[in-house]
Amino acid sequence: MPFSTSEKYHAVVIQISGKFLGSLEGVAFKEKLEELRDSGKRNVVIDLSKADFMDSSGIGALIGALTTMKKVDGDVKLAGMKDRIKNLFLLTRLLGSVFEDYDSVEEAAASMNV
């Protein structure tokens, strides 16, 4: 599984590594988010610093994560995107309007620490 979780400040950090394809990882990722939500977690940072590639259904999985958390007044923020993935988010216009991105996990986690 190309993602792992840890906790930083008051946020859960999900680190995605390598290729993130919604068709392969989408279901496990969705279940992970639901598990976090059900255990009372609200703030999630997706650490993309080790992610090299993402397809459209991978983006879809992240949108799913965001809506899952927003529904319970939580939030999902992105951190450490490499240019290739950032371009994908810029192209789809999801950055800024839907997702906030930060250079580091720390900054993203700190932004939720209110």
Partner 1 sequence: MYINRKPLVINDPLNDPRFQGVNWSGTVRSLVSVPLQVNSRLVGILTLYNKKRGVEFSIEDQRLLSILAGQSAQVIETARLYEEEKKLATVQQELSLAYEIQTNLLPSKAPTIKGFDVAGISIPAQSVGGDYFDYIKIDDYHWGMALGDVSGKGMGASLLMANCQATLRGQAHFGLSVHETIERSNHLLSDNIRRGSFVTLFYGVLDAISGQFKFTNAGHNKPYVCRADGSLETLMIGGLVVGFIGSQKYQEDSIVLEPGDTLFVFSDGVTEAMNPKHEQFEEERLEELLKNMGDVPAQTYIDTVFAAVKKHAGVEPQNDDITMLVIKRLN
Instruction: Name the site residues for partner 1 (rule: CB under 8 A).
Output: 22-23, 26, 30, 53, 55-57, 59-61, 63-64, 67-68, 91-94, 97-98
Least CB distance to partner 1 at residue 34 (A)? 12
Between 39 and 97, CB nearer to partner 1: 97
Between 7 and 31, CB nearer to partner 1: 31
Between 21 and 110, CB nearer to partner 1: 21
Least CB distance to partner 1 at residue 52 (A)? 9
Between 67 and 104, CB nearer to partner 1: 67
C-alpha 66, offset from chain centre = 8
Separation of alpha carbons 96 and 84, rounded Å: 17
Least CB distance to partner 1 at residue 8 (A)? 25
Least CB distance to partner 1 at residue 108 (A)? 21
Q: What is the 3-state secondary structure (H, E, C) of the chain?
A: CCEEEEEECCEEEEEEEEEECHHHHHHHHHHHHHHHHHCCCCEEEEEEEEEEEECHHHHHHHHHHHHHHHCCCCEEEEECCCHHHHHHHHHCCCECCCECEECCHHHHHHHCCC
